[in-house]
A and B are shown apart, each in its own frame.
Chain A
Amino acid sequence: MTREDILLKLEEIFREVFDDETIDLTEEITPDDIEDWDSIGNVYLTVEIEEELHISLGDDMNKISNVKDIIDLIINRLEAING
């Protein structure tokens, strides 16, 4: 999956989790930009990403500060799986 593919997939996930079809995701978006992206929203987001991409993000999702960090984390996990 390329960075762009991941961003597109994340946009789908964000729209579903935060129930907002108008979300246009960019790497710069932070939790401050999306009202429901609080600590509980982050937990829901983590669960949904893990389910969709079959990876485990764990507590590292608590340390992210924007979408870019999530993409980096996903790439890191996918690389670990694919070796």
Chain B
Amino acid sequence: MFIRRVSNKLRRIKDYLCDYIVYKCLEKDRPKESGLLRIILRGRKLVGFYGECHMYIYGGYLSSVRELKKYYYLLGAKEIEYLVRWHSTRINNRNVWNKLDVLIYNPGVPDRKGAPSLGAVLEWIPDNCKRIEVTNAVFKGYMPQHTEKVFKNDQLFIWGDKNINKLLNEKESESKLEELLSESFYDPQFVIDYFEKSIKRLKQYEQRCTIKIADYIEENGKKRPLFYSVTHPEDEIMRELTLRIMNELGLERRELRNTSGQAGLFDLHTHGEVIYPSVCKALGFSNEVLERTIHPGSYKNLDYTFEKYVKEYYRMGKEIAEQ
């Protein structure tokens, strides 16, 4: 664990310095076939990134593929929050975007203070820049309880739970929580319809994306849960999306190296959301899925079973309401 942490830290420093040097070169209004940049790129295509937390994972996987790095140089392969924090002045310079050969981005990224908007970036990139619009891969199908409405708390519960919110609002007693644990809480047909409808919605949303994932969820989503939360896909989805991006870049499918710590389960296993026992049952998941635990919020040291989650959410919600 210690060694992994140190090596991750060193890799982050290296990534930062590499990005810094290239951004500095790009800031100057000079063609990229000149000076230090020519030496760094060695004829490779320059790939930029604009998106949220998923970008970090794609960046990690893509940079682990040696063949890809022969043809492409990956610049700022991180989430936009990171780029704002570490390269704010540089990413606001249009010169760093107008020399890109490829832009990999998520649609609909909300504007952030300190960052150029996605709209601006799309205007700044040259006409011949290849645009790869990657689905945001947001899927509600396993989590019908999901809502953004949640009581103010210490980042333990990032997402809300409609069912427990209702019990809290109606001042129902704790004994009512038992009903949520039941395998028949959600009607099986409702769960299946909800799952199908979520796929339909994702498909509609992905119509304009270059890289889609709804078809993969449709094919595999009832075999095992493919999402850790509505917005955090499991590693399997991130790998599949990376392979699809690679395909778009002209590279064949291959086994991606496990880059744990840099990408994969380690990073997107935060802000977890439970899968109700009745949802597990209706979708035909094994008992193993029933015993699934989540890290609430960013608390990777906490592991909540479904029962623990329900109790903690209710307890905290009640406590805050009484304050």
Contact = CB atoms under 8 A, between A and B. Distances in A.
Interface of A: 17, 19, 35-36, 38-40, 43-44, 47-48, 51, 59, 62
Contact of B110 (A17, A35, A62): A62
B204 interface: yes
Chain A CB within 10 Å, residue with most, of B108, B118, B140, B207: B108
A70 to B, nearest CB: 17
B201 A59 contact: no
A40 B207 CA distance: 16
A35 B147 CA distance: 7
Nearest to B109: A59
B246 interface: no
A47 B201 CA distance: 9
A35 B162 contact: yes
B244 to A, nearest CB: 21
Contacts of B138: 40, 43
Contact of B119 (A19, A39, A51, A59): A59
Q: Nearest 8 CB-CB pairs, A to B?
A: A38-B148, A47-B204, A44-B201, A47-B205, A40-B138, A43-B205, A35-B147, A62-B110
Interface string B198-231: 0001001101000000000000000000000010
A31 to B, nearest CB: 9
Contacts of A47: 201, 204-205, 207
Interface in B137-160: 138, 140, 147-149
Contacts of B108: 43, 59, 62
B197 interface: yes
A48 B205 CA distance: 9
Given A39-B148, A40-B138, 7 more contacts: A19-B197, A35-B147, A36-B147, A38-B149, A40-B148, A43-B108, A62-B110
Nearest to A32: B149
A4 to B, nearest CB: 27
Contacts of B118: 59
B158 to A, nearest CB: 13
Chain A CB within 10 Å, residue with most, of B118, B147, B148, B162: B148
Nearest to B119: A59
22 contacts: A35-B149, A35-B162, A36-B147, A38-B147, A38-B148, A39-B148, A40-B138, A40-B140, A40-B148, A40-B230, A43-B205, A44-B201, A44-B204, A47-B201, A47-B204, A48-B204, A51-B204, A59-B108, A59-B118, A59-B119, A62-B108, A62-B110
Q: Which of A38, A40, A44, A59 has the most CB of B within 10 A?
A: A40
A80 to B, nearest CB: 17
Contacts of B230: 40
Contacts of B207: 47
Nearest to B138: A40
Contacts of A36: 147
Given A35-B162, A38-B149, A62-B110, A44 B205 contact: yes
Contacts of B148: 38-40
B169 to A, nearest CB: 11
A40 B139 CA distance: 9
Nearest to B200: A44
A36 B149 CA distance: 9
Contacts of A48: 204
